[in-house]
Amino acid sequence: MKLRIENFSFRYNANTLAVETFNFQAEAGSYWCFAGPNGSGKSTLLMACAHLLEHQGQFTGNIFWQNTALSEWSRSGLARKLVFVPALFQSDSTFTVEEFVLQARFAFSKFWSTHSKKDREIVVSSLSKVGVLD
């Protein structure tokens, strides 16, 4: 997967500029980290890359996943490529790690279907790869 951000700026409102003129490119298979103080726009940038800010403010610039503009991706197509998990996640329900990760498989399922054996195998394999299966 390749991510390219060109001249990205985002405002929550007229007085709140969250990100200003940001450019970035990540090649497939690369690892990267955004670091900075609280309120510097890290989460805003990541939410914009996941196409979660379109109705929460005003942005300029372009974001591309695999050389396709974010605006051209369908919700389900984008959900099959990425997931955004906020730093602070609150829920009224308790989830195991496996159940939480399994939710990412909904993008590959039919509407109102249950998770398949293949979904569960993919989740177990993924948790094992990152060392959190236990």
Q: For residue range 53-106, what is the model confidence (pLDDT) as tens digits?
A: 776 778 888 889 888 998 898 887 887 877 777 777 777 778 788 888 887 777
Q: What is the pLDDT of residues 21-42, one digit of tens each?
A: 889 998 888 888 888 888 888 8
Give Cα 124 distance to the centre of its chain.
Answer: 21
H and E: helices and strands count for the chain: 4, 4
Give Cα 106 distance to the centre of its chain.
Answer: 15
For position 1, what pLDDT does the model report? 61
Quick check: helix, strand or coil at residue 4?
strand
For position 25, what pLDDT does the model report? 92
Tell if the pTM clears 0.85, that is, is over it: no
Please compute, for residue 18, the number of CA atoms within 13 A of its CA located in the half-sphere on the CB side: 21
| Residue 47: pLDDT over 90 | no
